[in-house]
Amino acid sequence: MQITDESSSNTFNKIIELFFEKEKVGINFPLNDIILTDNIFQKVKELQPTLFTEEHFNKNQLLECTGYTLLFKNNTATVLIKNDDFTKNFLWIETLVHELTHVKDFNDYLPIIKENNFYEMLHNIPFWYWTEFHARYKGYVYMLEFAQRLPEPYFQQYINDSMKRIEDFNTLFNGHEDYHLKIYYTMHLMGEILAYEYKGINIDDKSIAKENNWFDKMKEFLRKHTENVSISDMLLLSMNANKIFCKNG
Ligand SMILES: [Zn+2]
């Protein structure tokens, strides 16, 4: 596996090594490559054009994202990371670990999910919800590990960004966006909040719980599944999420 930009390769390799070590990733990890690119959209078009014909495919999401994992029918994956100024902040650590976690999840769950290959697993909605939660959680745990060591005003910026997403949640929940996307954002926010909790950092999410009586219960459920999940719990999460969000979707 190679990283195609030498200037960033040292720091990148350190995070990848840390991830492989902590998550006990073996030599059979099905990763083809990690590609740094200025245009993720273009790269996806180039490497996997069939994705654009998929029903679940969201073009706008691809235009906004900073990382993307391409999953192939031969059960390998290629991670795309947006080429950015990596000295600006540690958000790229979240992106990198997030995408690597997806690869690990697809690999770990392929034998237990009744799908033929990585590409077809993309259609498995219950798995998608959980892996989005898991990837965001892991991404934030790794990122906070570094962000926590920054001087207070710099670290505060990470908390402010998360607080903004917490404040905006009720608007998102009551908005008219596709309910799958709302659940996707909710899974991300849950992962983020539980990562702060794991790192012992207090983050106030009461404004969500006050308006949404399901919130604390879902958080409690996900707290038990930050490392892995059974198929039945995956389905339970998906059924509950669909019930809650379909009403507003
Ligand atoms: Zn993701």
Dist. CA 151 → ligand 1 center (Å) = 29
Dist. CA 184 → ligand 1 center (Å) = 9
pLDDT band at 247 (very low <50, low <70, confident <90, very high): low
3-class secondary structure per residue, the chain: CCECCHHHHHHHHHHHHHHHHHCCCCCCCCEEEEEEECCHHHHHHHHCHHHHHCCCCCHHHHHHCCEEEEECCCCCEEEEEECCCCCCCCHHHHHHHHHHHHHHHHHHHCCCCCCCCHHHHCCCHHHHHHHHHHHHHHHHHHHHHHHCCCCHHHHHHHHHHHHHHHHHHHHHHHCCCCHHHHHHHHHHHHHHHHHHHHCCCCCCCHHHHHHCCCHHHHHHHHHCCCCCCCHHHHHHHHHHHHHHHHCCC
**Cβ pair 105, 155 in contact under 8 A:** no
Dist. CA 129 → ligand 1 center (Å) = 9
Beta strand pairing call for 67-71 and 77-82: antiparallel
Dist. CA 62 → ligand 1 center (Å) = 11
Determine the average pLDDT of the residues in 213-237.
Answer: 97
Q: Token pair 């962000």 is at which residue?
A: 147
Residues 158 and 211 in one domain: yes
Determine the average pLDDT of the residues in 141-146.
Answer: 97
Domain boundary among 72, 104, 123: 123
Residues 62 and 44 in one domain: yes
Dist. CA 133 → ligand 1 center (Å) = 8
Q: What is the pLDDT of residue 178?
A: 87
Instruction: Mark residue 99 as left, alpha or beta (left: phi above 0; alpha: psi -120 to 50; beta: remaining).
Output: alpha
pLDDT band at 43 (very low <50, low <70, confident <90, very high): very high
pLDDT band at 9 (very low <50, low <70, confident <90, very high): low
Determine the average pLDDT of the residues in 170-194.
Answer: 94
Report CA dihedral (54, 77, 64, 47) to the nearest 10 degrees. -70
The fraction of the chain above a pLDDT of 70, given in percent, is 95
Domain boundary among 101, 123, 145: 123
Determine the average pLDDT of the residues in 66-94.
Answer: 94
Is residue 96 pLDDT above 70, yes or no? yes
How high does pLDDT run on average in the chain? Answer: 92
Dist. CA 134 → ligand 1 center (Å) = 9
Dist. CA 37 → ligand 1 center (Å) = 17
Dist. CA 58 → ligand 1 center (Å) = 13
Residues 248 and 129 in one domain: yes
Residues 156 and 239 in one domain: yes
Domain boundary among 55, 90, 123: 123
Determine the average pLDDT of the residues in 179-188.
Answer: 94
The fraction of the chain above a pLDDT of 90, given in percent, is 82
Work out how many domains the chain is built from and give that number.
2
Q: What is the pLDDT of residue 249?
A: 47
Any idea how long the chain is? 249
Is residue 5 pLDDT above 80, yes or no? no
- Backbone phi, psi, residue 90, to 5°: -100, 15
Domain span including residue 15:
1-123
> Positive or negative CA dihedral for 31, 35, 39, 43?
negative
Is residue 156 pLDDT above 80, yes or no? yes
pTM, 2 dp: 0.94
Identify residue 45 by its one-letter amino acid code. K
Dist. CA 98 → ligand 1 center (Å) = 6
Cα 85 from Cα 82, distance rounded (Å): 10
Is residue 4 pLDDT above 80, yes or no? no
Determine the average pLDDT of the residues in 183-210.
Answer: 97
Q: Which two tokens stand for residue 2?
A: 């190679």
Residues 77 and 129 in one domain: no
Q: What is the pLDDT of residue 84?
A: 84
Dist. CA 65 → ligand 1 center (Å) = 9
Is residue 57 pLDDT above 90, yes or no? no
Which tops the pLDDT comparison, 58 or 19?
19
Residues 29 and 72 in one domain: yes
Dist. CA 217 → ligand 1 center (Å) = 23
